[in-house]
Amino acid sequence: MKVAVRYYSKSGSTKKLADAVAEAVDTKAYSVDTPITEPVDLLFIGGAPYIASQLDKHLRDFIHTLSYEQVKQIAVFSTSNWKMSIEPQTKRALRDDRIKIVDRGYMGRGALGVINESHPNAAECAAAAAYAKATVAKLAR
């Protein structure tokens, strides 16, 4: 199964989870500035809900570019001070409705200035890695 990881991170919280997810599935994490250049079976997308639970423009614009020819399925992971998922926003941002979003994804705490500044911590990174491994194993069946 060909897997890729892309993320958008303002504070570095989502990047930490992206790196953990990528390591768990034996690939590298890249920011959404790096396009998908080869078809993948599964794309892990990471981000955070911002003002009014919206996706950041960079992440939303990246999602708009995805096609079924490039990406068959998406698994979402997110960081948030409030542990909110970006799955609904990701689904709305997709322009190609043939791309399937798998389950609810992983939600971890993210830093917001000094609030939750120790997050994501090692346990949350390990949980994100476990989520990634379990997702790939489930889809590989």
DSSP letter string, the chain: --EEEEE--SSSHHHHHHHHHHHHTTS-EEETTS---S-EEEEEEEE---GGGPPPHHHHHHHHT--TTTEEEEEEEEEETT---SHHHHHHH-S-TTSEEPSS-EEEE--BTTBTTT-S-HHHHHHHHHHHHHHHHHHH-
CATH number of 40's domain = 3.40.50.360
pLDDT score of 2: 97
Position 11 confidence tier, pLDDT thresholds 50, 70, 90: confident
Domain that holds residue 122: 3-140
Mean pLDDT of the chain: 88
pLDDT score of 116: 54
Total domains in the fold of the chain: 1
